[in-house]
Chains A and B, each alone.
Chain A
Amino acid sequence: MSSPVQPAHGGHLSLLRVLGPGHVWALGVGIVLVGEFMGWNFSVAKGGALGSLIACWVIGLLYTCVAMIDSEVTSTVAAAGGQYAQAKHIIGPLMAFNVGLYLVMAYTMLEASDALVVGDLLKTVAERAGAPGLDARPFVFLTIALLAFINYRGVLVTLSVNLVITAIACAAIVAMFLATKPWSASNSLLHRDLLSGLPYGWMGVIASFHFGIWYYLGIEGTCQAAEEVRSPPRSLPFGTMAGMITLLIAATMTWYVCAGILPWEYLGTAVVPLFDAASVGSGDALQVALFVGTLFAAVASANGCINDASRAWFSMGRDRYLPEWFAAVHPRYRTPYRAILFLVPIAIAFGFTGLLDQVVTFSILSGLLGYTVMPLNIVLFRRKWPLGSIKRGYVHPWHPLPALVLFALCAVTYFSVYLGYGRQLLAMLGFYVLASLWFVFHRYRYVRRGAQFTMPWPRPRGY
């Protein structure tokens, strides 16, 4: 990719198809894995350690439904923008605009949160090394600028970097788990003493669902690579499902180690719980491994988020839901360079606020709104194009059960968010209502609806 490439046909540049299933796995797991190193533990403050474990598995079920539905639709609608492109083909422009916006906001806020984590981690390490007073902001800025630079220079290098650092971060969790020797009678875990039931009852468990989302937030980002993988019908379902399995195992291991070492009162407020767990009675090597793991997980997540947010923004520009200027592809690197550049200052601005829980909550809410659309998406998809009428890369089982379970769990999670962050929930909904009004009354006139239908399927009425 060192020299400018001529367009394949038709006078337009397109994204490069260079990725395999490993890159898809790295994109999904890379975005999410930071949630095992920090953030998930705020659910412990809401519902206790056991409540957090219940949240881990119940929200795991929610995301399994997301992964199943997503794999079917994405392996069929293989276009950049992921759920946005799906909503565009299956539901309609207003829903597609909203879904695109949910994706961009969720990933940009998550990117800002990851950069905040990098800054906080360096600050914590400096304090423990006896040098307090480190300003986190330059490191937040450097993290976002460096990752934007890598993303700008090409998708293959971006996701190859993610593959390596995600694998190292995963290895750090496994190393921590093995170091506690859970199989040995003389292990250092104190579950019997530290697990104190449900301190706030079942309402606390429901409240903990809010931060339980953090265990898996962003796994659906795998489908943003749909236009850049060599074989979407094979790579996308495989990468997404393998990612989901990895995360379920990693989340359970993380909970098991932390809940057996740290008391729930501390665990619920810790900034970097796995690193803290390693600091209690472990050797220096493990502490260094967990520091590196936390750092790499945050960097991998921010890296994947820049990739995903820019693809969604780029796709919306290409379909004229936003100014077409954003649909430019770099002739040398074949990346959506204007979309990448445009979102950098927004992420930096949120990163500079320093309000990790607020930024994370906005990301969670945007993600949750996207998941709520999925049941409707898959029901309409199966109704408009029944099995056998078009070629699908993957068919998810037991339809419509996963859609119904997903919808019910989303409703419970909204209630959970409302319990702790009701004002933010209403503010976010207000923002999307205003954005929708702007789209309907101003932007919609630029959208050429019929021309955007890019799938070789029988067209439904209205296109």
Chain B
Amino acid sequence: MSLLRLAEAAAWIGGILLFGWIIRDAWRTSRAYDERLLLSSREGEIEKDLREVAAHLEQLEERIDRLPGSRS
């Protein structure tokens, strides 16, 4: 077998192994995790952020209220 044919065979095998690894990992990942967790979403992100900020503000207000000499 000439050097050229050897290089071609090595390239085929390398490509198949790499592509095969990707398919195998993608298959295993999809089976191992809950589909809802895997799916990315930006829907309602602003509302989510606002809710987090509001919750954080509430916590801050409670801490301020607990400080000695606070209005309440």
CB–CB A138/B15 < 8 A: yes
Per the bound structure, the CA–CA distance linking A337 and B21 in Å amounts to 12
The contact of A448 among B7, B39, B43, by CB within 8 Å, is B43
Q: A331-B29, A337-B29 are in contact. Are A134 and B7 (CB under 8 A)?
A: yes
Distance of B19 from chain A, by nearest CB (Å): 4
CB–CB B40/A131 < 8 A: no
A-B pair count, CB < 8 Å, reads 110
In the complex, whether B38 has a CB less than 8 A from a CB of chain A is: yes
Mark interface residues in A2-23 (1 if CB within 8 Å of B CB, else 0).
0000010111111100000000
Q: Which chain B residue has the least Cβ–Cβ distance from A451?
A: B43
Which one of A105-113, A142-150, A252-260 is at the B interface? A142-150
Which one of A51-59, A230-238, A322-330 is at the B interface? A322-330
Residues of A within 8 A of B36 (CB): 11-12
Distance of B40 from chain A, by nearest CB (Å): 5
Q: Which chain A residue has the least Cβ–Cβ distance from B7?
A: A134
Q: Which chain A residue has the least Cβ–Cβ distance from B29?
A: A330
Q: A146-B15, A344-B19, A452-B43 are in contact. Are A329 and B4 (CB under 8 A)?
A: no
Mark interface residues in A70-81 (1 if CB within 8 Å of B CB, else 0).
000000000100
CB–CB A11/B37 < 8 A: yes
CB–CB B18/A146 < 8 A: yes
Interface size class of B (residues with CB under 8 A): 35 or more
Residues of A within 8 A of B29 (CB): 330-332, 337
Distance of A139 from chain B, by nearest CB (Å): 5
CB–CB B11/A327 < 8 A: no
Q: Which chain B residue has the least Cβ–Cβ distance from A340?
A: B22
CB–CB A454/B4 < 8 A: no
CB–CB A338/B21 < 8 A: no
Mark interface residues in B41-65 (1 if CB within 8 Å of A CB, else 0).
1111110100010000000000000
CB–CB B46/A148 < 8 A: no
- Nearest 3 A-B pairs (CB), nearest first? A138-B11, A141-B15, A145-B15
**Supplied contacts A13-B40, A131-B4, A318-B41, 18 more A-B pairs, CB within 8 Å:** A9-B52, A141-B11, A141-B12, A141-B15, A142-B11, A145-B18, A146-B14, A146-B15, A149-B21, A327-B39, A328-B40, A329-B38, A330-B29, A330-B38, A340-B22, A341-B23, A341-B26, A456-B46
Residues of B with Cβ closer than 8 Å to A? 2-4, 7-9, 11-12, 14-16, 18-19, 21-23, 25-26, 29-30, 33, 35-46, 48, 52
Question: What are 12 A-B pairs at a CB distance below 8 A?
Answer: A7-B37, A13-B39, A15-B40, A133-B4, A135-B8, A138-B9, A138-B12, A139-B11, A152-B22, A329-B40, A330-B29, A331-B29
